[in-house]
Structure 1
Amino acid sequence: MPVRLSSTGLVLDGQQPVQNLLRFLDTVMRGIGQVMLQNNSYTGLLFLLGIFCNSVLFGGAVLVGTMVSTLTAILLGAKPTLVRDGMFGFNGALVAIAVIYFLQPNALTWAYVILAAACTTVLMAAMLRLFDVWKMPVLTAPFVFTALCFLLACARFGRLQSTHVLPTAGLPRAAAIVEGIVTTSTVLEGLFNGIAQVFFQGSVITGVLFAIGLLISSRRVFIIALLGSLTGLLVAWGMGAAEPAIRSGAFGFNSVLTAIALGGVFFVLDKASAAYTLLATVATAIVFAAVSAALEPLGMPALTLPFVLVVWLFVLAGPMFPGLRLAGDA
């Protein structure tokens, strides 16, 4: 049969126009799934559905960003296997939704989205080549660097207007008191919002759909993601973070990504790697607070930079600890 279903998506053998279109759409879905390191088009479809359930605008942005960054890779002749696995799509998805989230949507902003998504492909290719020397993952670094650059540039572009979601530029403010009381409702909402916030979505329903998408890809990753979100939430609660921030999942999404990366992708899961992953996940919540404070004077968000920094550090250190086994060496 020219079209078959596999455990991770469509398998297409021919090169007919319809098959090429289906292959491209499947690749786009894989790109969306790769935001949480899942090469699975069903997962990507659930992620996209979850975003559309919360916002048609954000759903459209993710779709446009992923398609543009993927098409850019194809037109520039990137390695087909990397393209097919969605490796050039996920940074475009994130940068597109970030631009639309932080800037007022108009024709110029959408042009800005397209340009930013295309740039993530070039930056991804450059970092893949550079990081191959150290056998390190690029992760969402192209998204972080591109988004920060494009958002900072708006300070000199008068036709691009902020949605006023960006942090107010100024010296970091100290938390003089613990704001709000954390309840069971806070924990339950924060648990799923922590997963939803990976795509800038503050919706429990969206978080549940994301979790189902992860479950379709891997039961282990599903559990790890929930534990990652819970860990970030508990660290924030224990350290006295504001209740609204805990409820919104602000301290959870970077920890979710760190937990998935270390516990579900880069290391063989055993007692040693589980403890290592837990340490990294806790550290990620602290690094998120630090990076947020560091970028506040610039009026910039932390995005997924805490996840990137912590995973780089822990993956780079991994070979020095004999008790840890890299997934590729298993």
Structure 2
Amino acid sequence: MIIHINLSRVINRETLTWLMVTTLKGISQVVLVENAVSGFIIFAAISVASVPLGLITLFSAVIGTLIAKIGRADPNSVNQGIYGYNSVLTGMALYLFLSGEDRWIIALIGAAITAFFTAAMIHFMRQTGVPILTLPYIILTWFFLLTTYRLTTFQLSPDLTPQSLSNWTLNIKGEANWLDGAVNGIGQVFFLDYSVSGILLFIALFWAGWRIGLYAMVGNLAALVTSYGLGGEHSLIFKGLYGYNAILTIIAVSLVFNENHKTGLIFGTIAACFTVPISASIVTWLLPYGLPPLTMPFVFCTWLFLGARKVLPAF
């Protein structure tokens, strides 16, 4: 009996350790990193800005991981946190972009559905050789937000207001705060507009690898310069709303999915710059629906450049 109890404790301890480590990896996979320590720093960065948002992040990652584990998904993918990051983003987005007392329940349900959708997309896109990236999160979040126009259970946040393009005017006035812009880009990956969180997020990236942190800084700078040079709205530029897609894109194109390291940084920087006009286009396209662009510019540009490499292998 004593031996049985001790073995049970060991198994439970191992299971909890596995769940904790894999959950943190799922959080870190949002920025294409597989590192539990980085995941913990990211969790801390979110919690510093908002404790409720930090809890939603943690629970969403746990839900995605457990669904994949119980569903007997590929163990390597599960252990890498592949089934956690889309659930994390969906949970966070629904919590922030919906209103009402029940939004946290909807957010966690959305995180669970995203895990199933992630599994389905991995299956359907396996033969293409194209990574799913954050597409499950994007599609499901948009679908949930659009239900607010037809179902009273779902209430859209007042911050997301549909606007008519015929009455739209571009206002590029405002203070150019380059210091804030340097750290806000990485923060916006997790919907954060808080400098301390941005600094912590960069620390998380550098912990995972100095190239990841450096390339993220290059991508953010590329987006700042490009959006400023093209005459973007200062309020959006220096809040990091042009930077976060560029950061994800340069990490994906230059490091994670790069087989030719010689041209990786150059090719990734070009891709990061390209996210700026793509972001502006997608924001305009979604304006009448009041939907945020999320990470669609990152997905589009990364797919575009990775696809080009299939035909142009020198890049």
Question: What TM-score, normalized by structure 2, do the two folds share?
Answer: 0.93
Provide the residue aligned with 1:289 in structure 2.
280
Aligned match of 1:83: 78
What is the alpha-carbon distance in structure 1 between the residues aligned to residue 167 and residue 29 of structure 2?
35
Query: Can you list the C-alpha shifts for 1:11-62, whole angstroms capped at 9, x where unaligned?
Result: xxx9610110010011000000000010100011000000000001211111
CA contact (8 A) 1:172 1:294 kept: no
User: In 2, are the aligned partners of 1:170 and 1:299 still within 8 Å (CA)?
Assistant: no
Distance in 2 separating the partners of 1:102 and 1:197: 14
State the alpha-carbon separation in 2 of the partners of residues 15 and 125 from structure 1. 31
Aligned to 1:57: 52
How far apart, CA to CA, are the structure 2 residues paired with 1:176 and 1:213? 35
Partner residue, 1:152: 146
Q: Measure the CA separation in 1 of the matches of 2:167 and 2:305.
A: 30
CA drift at 1:273: 2.4
Q: 1:163 aligns with which of 132, 152, 157?
A: 157
**What's the offset of the Cα at 1:105?**
5.1
**Residue correspondence of structure 1 range 126-275 to structure 2 within 5 A:** 126-171=120-165, 175-182=169-176, 186-268=177-259, 270-275=261-266
d(CA) in 2 for partners of 1:259, 1:172: 34
Separation in 2, partners of 1:239, 1:271:
29
Distance in 1, matches of 2:52 and 2:166, equals 31
Identify the residue that residue 9 of structure 1 maps to in structure 2. none
Determine the structure 1 residue equivalent to 2:3. none
Matched, 1:18 2:18: no
Q: Which runs of 5+ in 1 are unaligned?
A: 1-13, 325-330
Segments of 4+ moved more than 6 angstroms = none
- Amino acid in the other structure paired with 1:112: I
Tell me the residue number matched to 2:27: 32
Kindly tell me the number of residue pairs found equivalent between the two proteins.
307
How far off is 1:110 after superposition?
2.2
C-alpha separation between the residues in 2 aligned to 1:155 and 1:174? 22
Alignment partners' CA distance in 2, 1:235 and 1:273: 19
Q: Which amino acid aligns with 1:129?
A: H
Deviation per residue, 1:181-215 (Å, 9 max, x gap): 42xxx111111110000000001110100000001
Alpha-carbon offset, residue 177 of structure 1: 4.6
C-alpha separation between the residues in 2 aligned to 1:172 and 1:267? 42
SS in 2 for 1:248: coil
* Deviations 1:228-252, CA, capped at 9 Å, x for gaps: 1111111111111122111210110
DSSP-derived class of the 2:13 partner: helix
Q: Match of 1:328? A: none
Deviation digits for residues 63-99 of structure 1 (CA, Å, limit 9, x no counterpart): 1111111111122221111111100000010001101
Q: Structure 1 length as normaliser, TM-score?
A: 0.89
Does the CA contact (< 8 Å) of 2:255 and 2:264 recur in 1? no
For the 8 Å contact 1:189–1:204, the answer to whether it is kept is yes
**Residues 153 and 220 from structure 1, CA distance in 2 versus in 1: closer, same or farther, beyond 3 angstroms?**
same
Alignment-mate amino acid for residue 118 of structure 1: A
Deviation at 1:134, TM superposition (A): 1.4
1:254-279 deviation per Cα after TM superposition (whole angstroms, max 9, x unaligned): 00100110112111464422221111
Structure 1 Cα separation of the partners of residues 13 and 175 of structure 2: 55
Distance 1:121 1:172 in 2: 39
Match of 1:96? 91
| Alpha-carbon distance in structure 2 between the residues aligned to 1:95 and 1:172 | 31
Does 2:315 correspond to 1:315? Answer: no
Q: What is the distance in 2 between the residues matched to 1:18 and 1:270?
A: 41
**Partner of 2:38 in structure 1?**
43
